[in-house]
Protein backbone atom coordinates (compact mmCIF):
# COMPACT_ATOMS: atom_id res chain seq x y z
CA UNK A 1 0.00 0.00 0.00
CA UNK A 2 1.28 3.46 -0.89
CA UNK A 3 2.63 5.38 2.10
CA UNK A 4 0.80 8.58 2.99
CA UNK A 5 2.79 11.80 2.90
CA UNK A 6 2.62 14.39 5.68
CA UNK A 7 4.28 17.77 5.90
CA UNK A 8 5.06 19.13 9.38
CA UNK A 9 5.88 22.85 9.70
CA UNK A 10 6.94 24.44 12.99
CA UNK A 11 9.82 26.71 13.96
CA UNK A 12 10.36 24.57 17.08
CA UNK A 13 12.76 21.87 15.88
CA UNK A 14 12.08 19.66 18.89
CA UNK A 15 8.37 19.48 18.04
CA UNK A 16 9.11 18.84 14.37
CA UNK A 17 11.50 15.99 15.18
CA UNK A 18 9.07 14.48 17.70
CA UNK A 19 6.17 14.50 15.24
CA UNK A 20 8.40 13.24 12.41
CA UNK A 21 9.62 10.31 14.50
CA UNK A 22 6.12 9.35 15.69
CA UNK A 23 4.65 9.30 12.19
CA UNK A 24 7.59 7.55 10.56
CA UNK A 25 7.13 4.74 13.10
CA UNK A 26 3.55 4.53 11.81
CA UNK A 27 4.87 4.17 8.24
CA UNK A 28 4.16 7.68 6.95
CA UNK A 29 6.55 9.64 4.73
CA UNK A 30 7.21 12.87 6.63
CA UNK A 31 8.57 16.11 5.18
CA UNK A 32 9.54 19.01 7.42
CA UNK A 33 9.78 22.79 7.29
CA UNK A 34 10.69 25.44 9.85
CA UNK A 35 9.00 28.50 8.35
CA UNK A 36 5.89 29.21 6.31
CA UNK A 37 7.61 30.01 3.02
CA UNK A 38 9.63 26.78 3.06
CA UNK A 39 6.47 24.86 3.97
CA UNK A 40 4.63 26.27 0.94
CA UNK A 41 7.50 25.33 -1.39
CA UNK A 42 7.57 21.77 -0.06
CA UNK A 43 3.81 21.42 -0.31
CA UNK A 44 3.97 22.47 -3.97
CA UNK A 45 6.87 20.08 -4.62
CA UNK A 46 5.83 17.00 -2.60
CA UNK A 47 2.01 17.23 -2.81
CA UNK A 48 1.41 15.78 0.69
CA UNK A 49 -1.80 14.04 1.73
CA UNK A 50 -2.04 16.17 4.88
CA UNK A 51 -0.20 19.09 6.49
CA UNK A 52 0.41 20.01 10.13
CA UNK A 53 1.08 23.74 10.63
CA UNK A 54 2.13 25.74 13.66
CA UNK A 55 0.30 29.04 13.98
CA UNK A 56 3.38 31.12 14.82
CA UNK A 57 6.14 30.65 12.23
CA UNK A 58 8.66 33.07 10.69
CA UNK A 59 8.35 34.44 7.13
CA UNK A 60 4.73 33.30 6.84
CA UNK A 61 2.53 32.32 9.77
CA UNK A 62 0.19 29.34 9.79
CA UNK A 63 -2.93 31.43 9.20
CA UNK A 64 -1.50 33.08 6.09
CA UNK A 65 -0.22 29.77 4.75
CA UNK A 66 -3.57 28.08 5.34
CA UNK A 67 -5.32 30.96 3.57
CA UNK A 68 -2.95 30.68 0.58
CA UNK A 69 -3.61 26.95 0.32
CA UNK A 70 -7.39 27.34 0.49
CA UNK A 71 -7.21 30.10 -2.11
CA UNK A 72 -5.66 27.60 -4.55
CA UNK A 73 -8.13 25.07 -6.06
CA UNK A 74 -5.39 22.40 -5.98
CA UNK A 75 -5.39 22.44 -2.19
CA UNK A 76 -9.05 23.08 -1.43
CA UNK A 77 -9.46 19.53 -0.08
CA UNK A 78 -6.02 19.17 1.54
CA UNK A 79 -6.53 18.26 5.22
CA UNK A 80 -4.88 20.88 7.46
CA UNK A 81 -4.17 20.47 11.17
CA UNK A 82 -3.07 23.58 13.07
CA UNK A 83 -0.97 23.57 16.24
CA UNK A 84 -1.97 26.29 18.70
CA UNK A 85 -0.50 27.50 21.99
CA UNK A 86 -2.31 26.56 25.19
CA UNK A 87 -5.05 29.01 26.06
CA UNK A 88 -5.04 30.79 22.69
CA UNK A 89 -8.72 30.29 21.86
CA UNK A 90 -8.54 33.12 19.34
CA UNK A 91 -6.15 30.95 17.29
CA UNK A 92 -8.90 28.35 16.89
CA UNK A 93 -11.36 31.05 15.82
CA UNK A 94 -9.02 32.42 13.16
CA UNK A 95 -8.04 28.92 12.11
CA UNK A 96 -11.67 28.18 11.32
CA UNK A 97 -11.93 31.40 9.36
CA UNK A 98 -9.01 30.49 7.08
CA UNK A 99 -10.03 26.86 6.56
CA UNK A 100 -8.17 24.60 9.01
CA UNK A 101 -9.80 21.20 9.58
CA UNK A 102 -8.56 20.42 13.08
CA UNK A 103 -6.62 21.99 15.95
CA UNK A 104 -4.22 20.55 18.51
CA UNK A 105 -3.17 22.53 21.56
CA UNK A 106 0.50 22.42 22.58
CA UNK A 107 1.79 20.62 24.55
CA UNK A 108 -0.02 17.56 23.20
CA UNK A 109 0.07 13.79 23.48
CA UNK A 110 1.36 12.23 20.23
CA UNK A 111 -1.51 9.74 20.30
CA UNK A 112 -4.04 12.57 20.07
CA UNK A 113 -2.40 14.01 16.96
CA UNK A 114 -2.05 10.53 15.44
CA UNK A 115 -5.78 9.87 15.84
CA UNK A 116 -6.73 13.21 14.31
CA UNK A 117 -4.46 12.60 11.32
CA UNK A 118 -5.81 9.07 10.87
CA UNK A 119 -9.43 10.27 10.97
CA UNK A 120 -8.85 13.08 8.46
CA UNK A 121 -7.07 10.78 6.02
CA UNK A 122 -9.86 8.20 6.30
CA UNK A 123 -12.44 10.91 5.60
CA UNK A 124 -10.42 12.08 2.62
CA UNK A 125 -10.15 8.52 1.29
CA UNK A 126 -13.91 7.97 1.53
CA UNK A 127 -14.68 11.39 0.08
CA UNK A 128 -16.41 12.37 3.32
CA UNK A 129 -14.28 15.33 4.30
CA UNK A 130 -16.42 18.36 5.13
CA UNK A 131 -16.28 21.28 2.72
CA UNK A 132 -13.08 23.22 3.53
CA UNK A 133 -14.81 26.62 3.56
CA UNK A 134 -18.18 26.02 5.24
CA UNK A 135 -17.30 22.80 7.13
CA UNK A 136 -20.64 21.34 6.05
CA UNK A 137 -20.87 17.68 4.98
CA UNK A 138 -19.65 17.23 1.42
CA UNK A 139 -20.89 15.47 -1.72
CA UNK A 140 -20.13 11.88 -0.68
CA UNK A 141 -21.87 12.28 2.68
CA UNK A 142 -24.94 13.85 1.05
CA UNK A 143 -25.21 11.06 -1.52
CA UNK A 144 -24.93 8.44 1.21
CA UNK A 145 -27.69 10.20 3.16
CA UNK A 146 -29.99 10.16 0.13
CA UNK A 147 -29.37 6.44 -0.48
CA UNK A 148 -30.11 5.58 3.16
CA UNK A 149 -33.40 7.48 3.08
CA UNK A 150 -34.44 5.86 -0.18
CA UNK A 151 -33.62 2.43 1.23
CA UNK A 152 -35.86 3.07 4.24
CA UNK A 153 -38.70 4.40 2.02
CA UNK A 154 -38.62 7.75 3.81
CA UNK A 155 -40.83 10.51 2.41
CA UNK A 156 -38.41 13.35 1.68
CA UNK A 157 -37.41 15.97 -0.88
CA UNK A 158 -33.94 17.05 -2.00
CA UNK A 159 -33.24 20.63 -3.05
CA UNK A 160 -30.04 21.99 -4.53
CA UNK A 161 -29.45 25.61 -3.51
CA UNK A 162 -26.93 27.55 -5.51
CA UNK A 163 -25.55 30.91 -6.57
CA UNK A 164 -25.94 31.84 -10.25
CA UNK A 165 -22.56 30.68 -11.68
CA UNK A 166 -21.66 33.63 -13.92
CA UNK A 167 -22.41 36.27 -11.28
CA UNK A 168 -20.50 34.31 -8.64
CA UNK A 169 -17.49 33.87 -10.93
CA UNK A 170 -17.40 37.58 -11.80
CA UNK A 171 -17.71 38.47 -8.11
CA UNK A 172 -14.73 36.23 -7.25
CA UNK A 173 -12.73 37.74 -10.11
CA UNK A 174 -13.36 41.31 -8.95
CA UNK A 175 -13.37 40.95 -5.16
CA UNK A 176 -11.10 37.91 -4.74
CA UNK A 177 -11.57 34.31 -3.61
CA UNK A 178 -11.45 35.18 0.08
CA UNK A 179 -14.47 37.47 -0.30
CA UNK A 180 -16.21 34.82 -2.40
CA UNK A 181 -15.59 32.31 0.39
CA UNK A 182 -17.23 34.73 2.82
CA UNK A 183 -20.38 34.56 0.71
CA UNK A 184 -20.30 30.75 0.87
CA UNK A 185 -19.96 30.96 4.66
CA UNK A 186 -22.95 33.31 4.86
CA UNK A 187 -25.09 30.90 2.84
CA UNK A 188 -23.93 27.89 4.85
CA UNK A 189 -24.67 29.65 8.13
CA UNK A 190 -28.12 30.84 7.03
CA UNK A 191 -29.15 27.41 5.71
CA UNK A 192 -27.96 25.71 8.90
CA UNK A 193 -29.66 28.23 11.22
CA UNK A 194 -32.99 28.11 9.40
CA UNK A 195 -32.86 24.31 9.19
CA UNK A 196 -32.49 24.23 12.99
CA UNK A 197 -35.26 26.78 13.55
CA UNK A 198 -37.87 25.46 11.15
CA UNK A 199 -36.77 21.93 10.32
CA UNK A 200 -36.51 18.87 12.53
CA UNK A 201 -33.77 16.43 13.50
CA UNK A 202 -34.05 14.74 10.10
CA UNK A 203 -33.22 17.90 8.14
CA UNK A 204 -29.85 17.51 6.41
CA UNK A 205 -27.66 20.37 5.15
CA UNK A 206 -24.60 19.83 2.96
CA UNK A 207 -22.22 21.66 0.64
CA UNK A 208 -21.76 19.75 -2.61
CA UNK A 209 -18.92 21.90 -3.87
CA UNK A 210 -18.22 25.23 -5.54
CA UNK A 211 -21.37 27.34 -5.16
CA UNK A 212 -23.94 24.56 -4.61
CA UNK A 213 -25.53 23.40 -1.34
CA UNK A 214 -28.03 20.63 -0.65
CA UNK A 215 -31.02 20.49 1.69
CA UNK A 216 -32.86 17.25 2.51
CA UNK A 217 -36.09 17.45 4.51
CA UNK A 218 -39.58 16.03 4.88
CA UNK A 219 -42.05 17.21 2.25
CA UNK A 220 -44.18 19.04 4.82
CA UNK A 221 -41.38 21.45 5.74
CA UNK A 222 -39.22 21.81 2.66
CA UNK A 223 -41.07 24.65 0.89
CA UNK A 224 -41.08 26.85 4.01
CA UNK A 225 -37.39 26.13 4.55
CA UNK A 226 -36.44 27.02 0.98
CA UNK A 227 -38.49 30.22 0.96
CA UNK A 228 -36.93 31.49 4.20
CA UNK A 229 -33.40 30.55 3.16
CA UNK A 230 -33.60 32.27 -0.22
CA UNK A 231 -35.10 35.41 1.27
CA UNK A 232 -32.45 35.74 4.00
CA UNK A 233 -29.41 34.90 1.86
CA UNK A 234 -30.51 37.25 -0.93
CA UNK A 235 -30.99 40.06 1.60
CA UNK A 236 -27.42 39.65 2.88
CA UNK A 237 -25.44 39.16 -0.34
CA UNK A 238 -25.72 42.78 -1.63
CA UNK A 239 -23.95 43.92 1.55
CA UNK A 240 -20.81 42.14 0.32
CA UNK A 241 -20.55 44.46 -2.71
CA UNK A 242 -19.08 47.95 -2.64
CA UNK A 243 -21.52 50.89 -2.60
CA UNK A 244 -21.20 51.60 -6.32
CA UNK A 245 -21.94 48.06 -7.49
CA UNK A 246 -24.74 47.63 -4.96
CA UNK A 247 -26.51 50.87 -5.93
CA UNK A 248 -26.50 50.20 -9.66
CA UNK A 249 -27.36 46.50 -9.22
CA UNK A 250 -24.68 45.02 -11.45
CA UNK A 251 -20.91 44.64 -11.96
CA UNK A 252 -19.08 45.78 -15.08
CA UNK A 253 -17.13 43.00 -16.78
CA UNK A 254 -16.09 41.89 -20.26
CA UNK A 255 -16.85 38.93 -22.50
CA UNK A 256 -14.12 36.61 -23.77
CA UNK A 257 -13.98 38.83 -26.87
CA UNK A 258 -13.50 41.98 -24.80
CA UNK A 259 -17.03 43.27 -25.20
CA UNK A 260 -18.43 45.19 -22.18
CA UNK A 261 -20.79 43.15 -20.04
CA UNK A 262 -23.17 44.01 -17.22
CA UNK A 263 -23.37 41.13 -14.74
CA UNK A 264 -26.24 41.22 -12.20
CA UNK A 265 -25.54 40.89 -8.49
CA UNK A 266 -25.38 37.32 -7.23
CA UNK A 267 -28.71 35.64 -6.62
CA UNK A 268 -29.27 32.54 -4.48
CA UNK A 269 -31.83 30.16 -5.92
CA UNK A 270 -33.04 26.58 -5.51
CA UNK A 271 -34.27 23.66 -7.56
CA UNK A 272 -35.73 20.26 -6.70
CA UNK A 273 -33.47 17.31 -7.42
CA UNK A 274 -35.35 14.64 -9.31
Per-residue model confidence (pLDDT) at position 92? 58
Q: What is the pTM for the complete model shown?
A: 0.64
Report how far residue 214's alpha carbon sits from residue 25's, in angstroms, rounded to the nearest whole number.
Answer: 41
H-type helices in the chain, by residue range? 13-25, 36-46, 62-70, 89-98, 110-126, 139-151, 165-175, 177-198, 222-236, 243-248
Q: Please give the Cα distance from 136 to 152 (Å, whole number).
A: 24
The parts of the chain modelled with pLDDT lower than 50 are none
Angle at 96 between CA 94 and CA 100, to 5 degrees: 110
Task: Quote the CA–CA distance of 55 and 143 in Å, as a whole number.
Answer: 35
Q: Is the Cβ–Cβ distance between 184 and 162 less than 8 Å?
A: no
Q: What pLDDT shows up at residue 95? A: 58
- Looking at residue 56, its pLDDT comes to 86
Q: Which domains does the chain have, with CATH numbers?
A: 5-126 (3.40.50.2300), 139-272 (3.30.70.270)
DSSP letters spanning 22-54: HHHHTT-EEEEESSHHHHHHHHHHH--SEEEEE
Which residues make beta-bridge pairs with 53? 9, 82
Q: Give CA 64 to chain center in angstroms.
A: 16
CB 106 within 8 A of CB 15: yes
**What sign results for the dihedral spanned by CA atoms 194, 197, 203, 207?**
positive
Amino acid sequence: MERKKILVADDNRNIVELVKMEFEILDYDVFTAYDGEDALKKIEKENPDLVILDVMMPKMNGFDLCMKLRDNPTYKDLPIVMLTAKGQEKDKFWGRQVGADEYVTKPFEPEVLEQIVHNLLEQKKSGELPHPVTKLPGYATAEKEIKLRKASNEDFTVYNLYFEPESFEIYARKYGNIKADEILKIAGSVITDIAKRIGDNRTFVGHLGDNTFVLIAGKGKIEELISNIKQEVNSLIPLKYDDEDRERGFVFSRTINGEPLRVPLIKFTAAVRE
